[in-house]
Amino acid sequence: MPHRIVILGGGTAGTMIANRLLRELGDEARIVVIDRDNRHVYQPGLLFVPFGLADPDELVRPRGLQLHEGIEFILAEVDRVDAGAAKVYIASGKRIGYDVLVIATGATLLPEETDGLTGPGWQESMFTFYTLDGATKLRDALSRFESGRLVVNIVDPPIKCPVAPLEFCFLADWFLRARGVRGDVELIFATPLDAPFTRAVASAQLGGLMVDKEIAIETEFSTGQVDGAAGKLISWDDREIMFDLLVTIPVHGGAPFVSRSTGLGDELGFVLTDQRTLQSRAAPNIFAIGDATNVPTSKAGSVTHFESQTLISNIRRFLDGRELEGSFDGHANCFVETGFHKALLIDFNYAVEPLPGRFPVPHLGPLPLLAESRLNHIAKLAFQWIYWHVLLPGHRLPGISPQLPTAAKNTTQGA
């Protein structure tokens, strides 16, 4: 009998893993993917929508069509997981058993968790570009914005793509300068962190760019309340930031079913996951990948890609009764759009800071690390084609290692 592998989530992680498992296991497995909708959104493209650099319609494709023939796709809402019984309960009451379960349901935006955020002004003077609808509405508002205070605010980490808010600031600076109104706009980045980014070396570089671009930084600002009618952010320690246009990155949490499933998730609803093997803490036959996990690395598409090799190998090892490998090292890399058709690239893992160098081949590149270049910008734009035609179908990127390449880097600098 073939092994039944059930994958919850048909986004980046779920689709990539399903297609790779089909290629790896063939007739040894019956693969089922469950998702609540049939709209696969290319999320990196959302950043470009507010600036008219991406067409929203080109970012969405049917989930089912991204899965190879032979993979069953079920359109349903997951109610809960019974780890002890190895069953998934869907909202209709149907139970689906599994030999291996992969949770790839990503992160969920929770704007309603912040007092006042979805009240007066929501989708009028307060927007998020982390959803397709929000990015599209923000595009219309930004095209009319010519003067006043534009505030970009992270409510609370962890969030998807931690560099995206910084990228928005840089692109907003470029966009407003191109329109000739930058001198009439005050641009502020408000973050609960004590620096622009979580890693010191990259944070210093990014902070310097913000100074150069006259983007004010308000650090350690933990948003407790939003007064949309008055155009005001209020922190938990009663500091206030006034705004005319707010770009918010709301609180994130895991999929709701995780919190309804005994022993599966943490207090935010992210799956409790071994950071090296990607095995769930709830049961040995449950694994998790991508933004759905609580592993201490960036919630970003590159991380999902690097995790996939470890996950595929460990599912095979589990099915064969062998010991799992702790091979995922927290590897993440991110292109950071800096405006004016340039970007920089950061590459790091659990233990090693983003450092200068070349990627993917040490010394040769061709992409420079921790430095602005037009080539990095072109590579970021090219990634959309790679995403649909290489990553989602489950192909490997030649020359890209799942583990962080450390040659030519000073690995004595810790995280």
Last residue of a domain, one of 320, 345, 372: 320
Q: Which of 251, 275, 296 is the last residue of a domain?
A: 251
What's the pLDDT score for residue 405? 83
Position 365 scores a pLDDT of 85
Residue 342: inside a domain, yes or no?
A: no
Domain membership of residue 381 (yes or no) is: no
State yes or no: pLDDT of 6 exceeds 70.
Answer: yes
Q: Is the pLDDT of residue 272 over 80?
A: yes
CA–CA separation, 20 vs 4, rounded Å? 15
Domain span holding position 36: 3-107+254-320
Could you please report the per-residue DSSP string of 9-34? --SHHHHHHHHHHHHHHGGGEEEEEE
Under 8 Å between Cβ of 404 and 329: yes
Determine, yes or no, domain membership for 357: no
The mean pLDDT of 302-310, rounded to a whole number, is 95
> Tokens representing 296?
């201490």
Q: Is the separation of the CB atoms in 78 and 261 below 8 Å? A: no
Q: How confident is the model at residue 409 (pLDDT cuts 50, 70, 90)?
A: low
Is 60 exceeded by the pLDDT of residue 212? yes
* pLDDT for position 400: 86
Q: Summarize the confidence of residues 35-41 as an average pLDDT.
A: 97
Closest of 40, 44, 22 to residue 31, by C-alpha: 22
> Is residue 215 helix, strand or coil?
coil
Does position 415 have pLDDT exceeding 50, yes or no?
Answer: no
Same domain assignment for residues 232 and 149: yes
pLDDT at 407 exceeding the cut of 80? no
Taking residues 131-141, report their average pLDDT: 98
Does residue 67 lie in a domain region? Answer: yes
Tell me, what's the pLDDT at 52? 96
List pLDDT tens digits, range 319-371.
999 999 999 999 999 999 999 999 999 999 999 999 899 998 888 889 999 99
228 inside domain:
yes
Predicted pLDDT at 59? 98
List % helix, strand, coil for the chain (3-state, nearest 5).
30, 30, 40
One domain, residues 117 and 240: yes
Decide if 393 is inside a domain: no
Same domain, 53 and 129: no
| pLDDT tens for each residue of 68-112 | 999 999 999 999 999 999 999 999 889 999 999 999 999 999 999
pLDDT on residue 30:
98
pLDDT-wise least confident of 116-120, 395-399, 407-411: 407-411
Is residue 219 domain-shared with residue 261, that is, in the same domain?
A: no
Residues 151 and 69 in one domain: no
Q: Is the pLDDT of residue 208 over 90?
A: yes
Q: Can you tell me the distance from the alpha carbon of 147 to that of 175, in angstroms, rounded to the nearest whole number?
A: 13
**What is the C-alpha separation between 409 and 351, in angstroms, rounded?**
12
Q: Which of 305, 320, 335 is the last residue of a domain?
A: 320
Residues 133, 217 within the same domain:
yes
Which pLDDT score is estimated for 410? 54
Instruction: Let me know if residue 412 belongs to a domain.
Output: no
* CA torsion through residues 272, 274, 279, 282, sign: negative
Query: What is the pLDDT at residue 413?
Result: 47
- On whether both 153 and 176 belong to a single domain, the answer is yes
* Domain count along the chain: 2
pLDDT > 70: percent of the chain: 98
For range 383-403, the mean pLDDT:
91
Work out the average pLDDT over 210-219: 97
Q: How much is the mean pLDDT over the chain? A: 95
83 and 201 both lie in a single domain: no
CB proximity list for 382: less than 8 A, separation 6 or greater: none
> Do 145 and 237 fall into the same domain?
yes
Whole-number pLDDT of residue 364: 81
One-letter identity of residue 393:
P
What does the pLDDT read at residue 254?
A: 97
Residue 390 to residue 397: CA distance in whole angstroms = 7
Are 115 and 239 part of one and the same domain? Answer: yes
Where residue 59 sits, what CATH number does that domain have? Answer: 3.50.50.60
**Residue 299 located in a structural domain:** yes
348 and 354 Cβ atoms separated by less than 8 Å: yes
* Shared-domain flag, residues 170 and 123: yes
**Considering the entire predicted model, what is its pTM?**
0.95
Kindly tell me if the per-residue pLDDT of 121 is higher than 90.
yes
Average pLDDT for residues 170-182, to the nearest whole number? 98
Q: What is the pLDDT of residue 414?
A: 43
Same structural domain for residues 242 and 125?
yes
